[in-house]
Chains A and B, each alone.
Chain A
């Protein structure tokens, strides 16, 4: 019983403590198992937390028994719980997939440190979601970021090192900006607790330091979530990272950055300030629209499938930015839905590519020719993920795009609805390129491979099925996103 009171900290503690355990045990297979179990337990805790939040409302957890605002507070509302489930759930599925893929792509000596770092990344990402204190958000962000630089650098391709280095530079600039912003806020309010900040900031909205802090924070987070044109680190990082890492980062890392943006904009500052008094809504809409069109166009010309999906991710983040920029209830609901649904589709797609890399050695478009003959399940999973990415009715992607278009029409901004639809058309083109190659071209005669092992197929199939399930049964996701955005719109008081 007492354990259930400590769920907020357990979610982070499990992966955090499992990490040194991996190093201590120092066995490749064992460390995989530990990582899997830790993330599974963490996922279980997240589910329990969501149930608790749904029953009792927002949970405030005082770390070490120190009362906020002096002590560190972990604060879990619907949105946090939603993000926790997303992060830990996808991490669990990716880890289920990871075993063979990692054994093949990572040199033997590095497997144990790989899993230890992966655990740190998961701990960092979950930490951001639960923290009720802006400085801790920064700390967890650094934990997850440094872990991800390391993970990306472990890619087989030598360019991985270069990509990781660039990401390191850019990511550090982003984190520094956030820290500077937080510092500015602290200067004038003397507090780091989110609740406290939300209470004290309104009086200071005209203060130039606060506004500068706001600018640093938004640009810093924009870098982290790969907002166009700050996305330039992302394509290389996703392309050259190990398959497992690409899948995990694409599905969760940028989404957590979006979560941070929502927290800062709507809880710490308020909707009226960030998206109305400040012209951030215009910036988000303009950059988001550009991202949708431009990144989708770039994706069309790509010949490496991982790179193609990376650019498509930039476009999808553009959708989310645009939806937040709409600054109304349905826009926020759509953004949250797309956070979840995009994680599902990119998870399915990157895992399928991981299986393809495992069997064929690379993820080039020409290697995928006639894949359906050898790897039918993987091919179907790519197809389902692709359809969801386009937003075909009956898939999860359709639901979020539908809500997004509704949100634009509510404001009478039909040109934005057209941009969203144009983005879907561009997605049809780049997905069709893949589908044509996989389903309608004959495989090179030299290739003779079979379907990937079951442990890879299962998580892939779960994600593909989830894409369809959440496309048909929208109760769970829409209700959650709806009530979470209601809480957010109500503002800092929550």
Chain B
């Protein structure tokens, strides 16, 4: 790209700047101009990124601390492009909206994600980490319903907690003379555990995952598309940067890959099913990071790349259904393929990708991780991942398209229609990329952090995967026919978030009831005390108080004389 010299002059900007400027412009630009800003911003941002020199870094001093606001290297660059791509697709998907708030929040959210992956030190990372929380919460609030407002608040609390842990960990880490630079940290480093938990919350570790399944499905159709792309991938990047090769990640990842399957099978809200499946995919990446070999990290990064595309595609197709019907519960949907054939097709491509069918993108990255696990002889983990792969096909590959588009015709079939063209275009871009990467994985492989000698399409990989898929499909069919498969019920499943959504509030309410008389008494007493103090103060300091009155000149002069006398005495002593 160095032959574009004049352009390198025009764009020596740090990567996140263009997106942030776009976000501000989208907030103030008139409605006619806004779509152009929205589409051009990610494109310009990506162009700028491509023109920056290799290993570009910027240094700054913030309140006496050496910080590195920008650091581009082989690990972060792919995430940088990925986020621009995701922003581009998401923006096109949201083009029909007339919502200044969402447009602004979406671009600012993408900008924060880009800023976070290029952050060269923990302080900068913290700033973008919190910006991610704020901007993404805005996307949840943008649904403008009571449910989304409550979910957004719960989401924000947990995200801010993660930020606070990150800051605390960073301070402890920096205190012990390691500096703020964000490189490999490891669990043994001071503050390492805090950072690990901070990253873990955002990567939706088991029992820390509730914010994701709670809040993502409550956002707007397009908001969820953005949400799926950024926050968790930034966390995956942070884990890969700071904790690659940490063994506990392997087991955490294996649990993450398996447990959401059960929830996903019984869940009725289809976007929540996808949220569980997102955790399941993150599990694969976490396992890859835990293994920590070059091959495994490559696999995790590649899978993060593909996951943004196929999960985005699935979320977009569900968003399209929600947009057209206003309904997201599997029990109420069905039979839409007659009216929405294009959406159905695109959804199936996404489903095939996430299920890792050969020739679709999921296959070329997931198999790297599974192979890396085998190389390092984690046999049990390998089995768990196999189970998880089968489960993905179950809930995401079959359940989503089956209940949304096929099964028994629903009441929406008469009125349904294809979504607006921009939604279809956005989905088509993602679908093309899913198939393209699946068929020509080498173009993805050559941009991975480490050099890779890997062929996805050898006989053993393909055969193993096909067998797995075939048996999984068989299982679904059999379970469905034998009516063992849990039917789609109009119900809401509470996950472990029950503890903080129901149990704790109830307990707190009860204890508050018991405490309320005491509380009232204390409050009254304090109030009286406070009022007395204020009365006393206003006596002297109030508008007509001694100290605030307009004094006659004589008294003023008296003060002067007094002070002179005092100083003279003191000086003569």
The reply to whether chain A is a binding partner of chain B is yes
B557 with A219: CB separation less than 8 A: no
Find chain A residues with CB under 8 A from B573 CB: 279
A230 with B560: CB separation less than 8 A: yes
A298 with B570: CB separation less than 8 A: no
Find chain B residues with CB under 8 A from A219 CB: 560, 563-564, 567
Within 8 A of B (CB), among A275-306: 278-280, 283, 294, 297-298, 300-303
Q: Please report the C-alpha to C-alpha distance between residue A297 and residue B534 in the assembled complex, in whole angstroms.
A: 10
From the candidates B547, B563, B570, B572, name the one contacting A222 in the complex (CB within 8 A): B563
Within 8 A of B (CB), among A18-69: none
Find chain B residues with CB under 8 A from A297 CB: 537, 540-541, 547
Given contacts A236-B550, A301-B538, contact A166 B556 (CB under 8 A): yes
Which of B538, B551, B566, B567 has the most CB atoms of chain A within a 10 A radius of its CB?
B567
Q: Which chain A residue shows the least CB distance to B573?
A: A279
Find chain B residues with CB under 8 A from A302 CB: 543, 548
| Stretch of A2-10, A137-145, A206-214, A318-326 on the interface side | A206-214
Given contacts A169-B553, A211-B571, contact A230 B541 (CB under 8 A): no
B571 with A230: CB separation less than 8 A: no
Q: Which chain B residue shows the least CB distance to A304?
A: B543
Q: Please report the C-alpha to C-alpha distance between residue A174 and residue B551 in the assembled complex, in whole angstroms.
A: 17
Find chain B residues with CB under 8 A from A214 CB: 571
Q: Please report the C-alpha to C-alpha distance between residue A283 and residue B562 in the assembled complex, in whole angstroms.
A: 13
Min distance, Cβ B505 to any Cβ of chain A, angstroms: 29
A230 with B563: CB separation less than 8 A: yes
B541 with A298: CB separation less than 8 A: yes
B550 with A301: CB separation less than 8 A: no
Min distance, Cβ B63 to any Cβ of chain A, angstroms: 9
The SS class assigned to the A binding surface is helix
Q: Please report the C-alpha to C-alpha distance between residue A230 and residue B562 in the assembled complex, in whole angstroms.
A: 10
From the candidates A211, A283, A301, name the one contacting B543 in the complex (CB within 8 A): A301
A170 with B553: CB separation less than 8 A: yes
B559 with A230: CB separation less than 8 A: yes
Which of B542, B556, B571 has the most CB atoms of chain A within a 10 A radius of its CB?
B571
B545 with A301: CB separation less than 8 A: yes
Min distance, Cβ A215 to any Cβ of chain B, angstroms: 4
Within 8 A of B (CB), among A292-351: 294, 297-298, 300-303, 311
Q: Which chain B residue shows the least CB distance to A213?
A: B571
Given contacts A223-B560, A230-B559, A232-B559, contact A301 B567 (CB under 8 A): no
Place the interface of chain B in its size category.
20 to 34
A232 with B567: CB separation less than 8 A: no
- 1/0 contact string of B2-33 vs chain A (CB within 8 Å): 00000000000000000000000000000000
A215 with B567: CB separation less than 8 A: yes
Min distance, Cβ B252 to any Cβ of chain A, angstroms: 37
Q: Please report the C-alpha to C-alpha distance between residue A218 and residue B564 in the assembled complex, in whole angstroms.
A: 9
Q: Please report the C-alpha to C-alpha distance between residue A185 and residue B563 in the assembled complex, in whole angstroms.
A: 20
Question: With an 8 A cutoff between CB atoms, is A264 at the interface?
Answer: no
The SS class assigned to the B binding surface is helix
B568 with A301: CB separation less than 8 A: no
Question: With an 8 A cutoff between CB atoms, is A114 at the interface?
Answer: no
- 1/0 contact string of A206-250 vs chain B (CB within 8 Å): 001001101110110011000001101101100000000000000
Find chain A residues with CB under 8 A from B556 CB: 166, 169-170, 230, 232-233
Given contacts A166-B553, A216-B564, contact A298 B547 (CB under 8 A): yes
Find chain B residues with CB under 8 A from A170 CB: 553, 556-557, 560
Find chain B residues with CB under 8 A from A173 CB: 557, 560
B559 with A298: CB separation less than 8 A: no
Q: Please report the C-alpha to C-alpha distance between residue A169 and residue B559 in the assembled complex, in whole angstroms.
A: 13
A211 with B572: CB separation less than 8 A: yes
Which of A218, A229, A311 has the most CB atoms of chain B within a 10 A radius of its CB?
A229
Find chain A residues with CB under 8 A from B566 CB: 283
A298 with B545: CB separation less than 8 A: yes
Find chain A residues with CB under 8 A from B548 CB: 235, 298, 301-302, 311
Q: Please report the C-alpha to C-alpha distance between residue A280 and residue B540 in the assembled complex, in whole angstroms.
A: 27
Which of A212, A219, A233, A235 has the most CB atoms of chain B within a 10 A radius of its CB?
A219
B571 with A294: CB separation less than 8 A: no
A229 with B572: CB separation less than 8 A: no
Find chain A residues with CB under 8 A from B551 CB: 232
On A, residues with C-beta under 8 Å from B are 166, 169-170, 173-174, 177, 208, 211-212, 214-216, 218-219, 222-223, 229-230, 232-233, 235-236, 278-280, 283, 294, 297-298, 300-303, 311
- Can you list 29 A-B contacts (CB < 8 A)? A166-B556, A169-B553, A169-B557, A170-B556, A174-B560, A177-B564, A216-B564, A219-B560, A219-B563, A219-B564, A222-B563, A229-B559, A230-B559, A232-B551, A232-B555, A278-B570, A278-B571, A279-B570, A279-B571, A279-B573, A283-B567, A283-B570, A294-B541, A298-B541, A298-B547, A301-B538, A301-B548, A302-B543, A311-B548
9 interchain residue pairs of minimum CB distance: A297-B541, A215-B567, A301-B542, A298-B541, A298-B548, A211-B571, A215-B568, A219-B564, A232-B556
Q: Give 11 new A-B contacts, CB below 8 A, not counting A215-B567, A229-B559, A280-B567.
A: A211-B568, A211-B572, A230-B559, A230-B560, A232-B555, A236-B550, A279-B570, A279-B573, A283-B570, A301-B545, A302-B548
